[in-house]
Structure 1
């Protein structure tokens, strides 16, 4: 069979094939053009952050947001618009609050925001204190309460009978854990996206300590620390060297998203991630948690992610193959399907 030559197509068939090829080519160009337009818009938004911060008061959500172990492909659940509408209609909690990780801001969720909105859901992306276009000096953010204040304020503002689904990325896992302890009745589910899902009495930094160093050694030897209160005082922030972020965070992300991150990421407040969190079974433990593992992650290795799941078991675990630390860039469709599936769980 290996020596059999393929049948030559007839002239009409060749013409049809060429026409189909042209149509596919045009479709591909249209898709690429749309992606490039999205990237340009996102990049333009970030480059204008300083101007925007002078004109607007509040989080980025007002501008870019709108108001388990099962791994089935959700696209198999429905094949037409009516089925999609029925599926979304069955989701009780439609509001997603997207919480960025260290150095990021609300801007990093732009693909997820678009996909969730197209699905009829309501994404809200927040800038934590000193992040995104929030102009607070990062060096002055001293506690988790200060850092997570925009999230806590948002949850507090919700009507009594309204709940949301929280999604926290990377160190944003500590922020949503903190919120779970204070507002468990406002949160339907919590999704930890390659995130610091800490246990009671644990520091967010401890999650990374196995791959970096102990907190004490890190504080003494790191060359990437910022001393906002003077060299004779404790360090106040952590600044990643831009030449390393691609290999750590974005090893599978598109070049345009890496460029977006390179001009947008800000220093990380150090004291909040060095703070031990108090998490109780009655509050933190009352909300269902789901962990999303990223299997090609260079920042938070799959082994560390497995360790987090073992030590603080969630209600469900999902895995994204081929994703780096930032699936909202590298695997946005896969992440979106997981979020839809979690949303439909009782």
Structure 2
């Protein structure tokens, strides 16, 4: 989660109250009523349609088996998979690449799955084929499930990290006292890499500050760093300071935040939780409802002390790692204006834009995000 806080002290009383969304329950109830009332009427029609679709699918399958085609052109889920051997079929035209001189709008291309996934990736020609995915605040490794599947189909080695107190990590979020403690699972992983082995670090949201911290410690083990709608800070800057520069620009974020005070109301907050009723509008305004449901039961509070910590970044370490930024223009958590501000203050090597993406492109634009990550891996 991107943190967008007021510089004023957080409220000490009634901190457990959640923002309400009166219309949310009514809409859900009405929708459920409509579905139930119409389900009986549509039952016979649905049965006949399903039967016709099954016959059509069987005919297509038989036809493609006769033609010895490895990939079926069915409309499937966003985590599209292709069968082994598809890479040996006739070479497809390459997908358009982004301009190297300006940001480019990239959307999920309307092309057959094999064109999208089988992008002529020759891992032997890549400097690095190991991609490490770092989640944002409140998220865990679970949020990358579509990206993991797509990258692995292209034979990339993929590691998704659960930071301390996130995902299935057992640390209590309220007990995290520093950024180094929060990032420990990532730094431990990098420390154990063999000499000469490099990875591409990908950070989302607050994960941008986390990969920046790792870049300072292990520059020789990181070939490239990719910031996806992420906090890309300057030396001496904290995530809180970055987001406080844009006061009064994100009321939705402030409405969604709920501070936790496990050490008592007279001490600073220990973590920030998010109102589950506002998650969709804040983080997933263009994401599938199934992914929103997954997030609503999987997200955990964000530890507060790491948000306050200022990064110490040097040109010789952090500055030696190639950086790339992926913008999300329909983002309600880290607005595009704030993303552009971070880019202008600390320009990366190249900027990409995922047209139509909300704050969580791994849900809302998984195929386009996958395409960009492959493209970045190819850049020499």
Q: 1:74–1:341: 8 Å Cα contact kept in structure 2?
A: no
Partner residue, 1:245: 279
Aligned counterpart, 2:316? 282
The 5-angstrom pairing of residues 241-280 of structure 1 reads 241-280=275-314
Matched, 1:116 2:157: no
Question: Could you state the TM-score of these two structures normalised by the residue count of structure 1?
Answer: 0.76
Equivalent-residue separation in structure 2 for 1:338 and 1:164 (angstroms):
16
Corresponding residue for residue 159 of structure 1? 194
Partner of 1:338: 372
How do 1:206-225 and structure 2 match up within 5 A? 206-211=241-246, 224-225=258-259
Distance 1:259 1:187 in 2: 34
RMSD: 3.4
Deviations 1:83-124 (A, max 9, x none): 845534322200000000000000000000000000110110
Match of 1:313 in 2: 347
Q: Distance in 2 between matches of 1:176 and 1:247?
A: 27
* 1:313 counterpart SS class: coil
CA distance in 2: counterparts of 1:243 and 1:289, whole angstroms: 35
Question: Which of the residues 223, 227, 232 maps onto 2:266?
Answer: 232
Distance 1:298 1:70, change over 3 A: closer
Deviation at residue 312 of structure 1 after TM alignment: 0.5
C-alpha change, 1:157 and 1:247, in structure 2 (3 Å) is: same
Distance in 2 separating the partners of 1:134 and 1:343? 29
Deviations 1:119-170 (A, max 9, x none): 1101100100000001111011010000000000000000111000000000
Change (3 A) 1:258 1:25: farther
Q: Does 1:185 align with 2:185?
A: no
CA distance in 1, matches of 2:267, 2:142: 32
Higher RCO (CA 8 Å, separation ≥ 6 residues):
2
Equivalent of 2:126, from 78, 91, 108? 91
Tell me the equivalent position of 2:209: 174
Distance in structure 2 (CA, Å) of the matches to 1:226 and 1:213: 22
SS in structure 2 at match of 1:191: strand
Q: Paired residues, what number?
A: 293
Moved more, 23-32 or 148-157: 23-32
1:174: Cα distance to partner?
0.3
SS at match of 1:239: strand
* Residues in 2 aligned to 1:330 and 1:74: alpha-carbon distance in whole angstroms: 10
Q: Distance in 2 between matches of 1:29 and 1:258?
A: 27
| 2:169 corresponding residue in structure 1 | 134
Q: TM-score, normalised by structure 2?
A: 0.70
Distance apart, 1:229 and its partner CA: 1.1
What's the counterpart of residue 332 of structure 2? 298
Summarize the Cα distance change of 1:205–1:213 in structure 2 as closer, same or farther, 3 Å threshold. farther
Distance in 2, matches of 1:74 and 1:242, equals 28
Alignment CA distance shift 1:31-1:158 (3 Å): same
Contact 1:73 1:337 in 2 (8 A): no
Give the alignment of 1:64-75 within 5 angstroms: 69=102, 71=104
Structure 1, unaligned runs of 5 or more = 1-17, 39-67
1:147 matched to 2:182? The reply is: yes
2 CA distance for matches of 1:222 and 1:334?
Answer: 28
Q: Secondary structure at the match of 1:318?
A: strand
Equivalent residue number for residue 329 of structure 1:
363
Structure richer in helix, relative to its length:
1
